[in-house]
Amino acid sequence: MKAFLIACLALLQAACSSLPSAPLLIAPRHQGDFSISSRISARSSEQSFAGLMTWQHHRATDEVLLSSPLGQGVARILSTPAGASIENAQGERRSAPDAESLTAELLGWRMPLNHLSDWLNDTGNAEEQLHDGWRIRYIQRDAQQRPTALDLSYRDVEIHLRAIRWEIPAAQASQPTATAPATP
């Protein structure tokens, strides 16, 4: 009987190990408004950037401010259902159908703004998932299970986000807002 159980377990383990890995589904907390401040570093074969990101997310609009590590404004990205625009520190402005193609063109690396709100609101326990070609690694979560450290990769692009502060409007929050723990 013991040999039979061992054989069954070995067969089950072999069967499970040959299953293809499928992208994990995102379990969003809410689709409402939030703001997040984080450290960001991005690298591609063309460009690299390290600094701060302040993001105001509303249901129909996103506004992202990218700043140098010392807080000097680098770019302001505005995304709406009608398209996206970016303005640099010199006041030059460009538009495109979406923020991802616009940031790829002007910054040299893609910012997946259309999906990032879902990834930041993920309350699942997954450590890693795939979504539209992006690999999302959840490095750390806060007490409310919000990601506070994310690593994103897409082809030659790598983006590292480390949350400094999460804010959710009081009317939407089911739990108090907290400052994210310091991450390396």
Judging by DSSP bridges, how do beta strands 62-67 and 48-57 pair with one another?
A: antiparallel
**Predicted pLDDT of residue 143:** 87
Q: How many CB atoms lie within 10 A of CB 158?
A: 16
Half-sphere exposure of 60 (CA within 13 A, CB side): 2
pTM assigned to the model: 0.74
Q: Total domain count for the chain?
A: 1
Inside any domain, residue 100: yes
Q: Structural domain of residue 86, as residue ranges? A: 33-167
Inside any domain, residue 153: yes
Inside any domain, residue 26: no
Inside any domain, residue 9: no
Inside any domain, residue 24: no
CATH number at residue 149: 2.50.20.10
Half-sphere exposure of 155 (CA within 13 A, CB side): 10
Inside any domain, residue 173: no
Inside any domain, residue 4: no
Q: Helix %, strand %, coil % for the chain, to 5? A: 20, 40, 40
DSSP 8-state symbol, 4:
H
**Predicted pLDDT of residue 183:** 45
pLDDT in tens, the chain (184 residues): 444 333 333 333 333 333 333 333 434 444 578 999 999 999 999 899 999 999 999 988 999 999 999 989 999 999 999 999 999 888 989 999 999 989 888 888 999 988 998 898 887 788 999 999 999 999 999 888 889 999 999 999 999 999 999 888 766 555 444 444 444 4
Inside any domain, residue 22: no
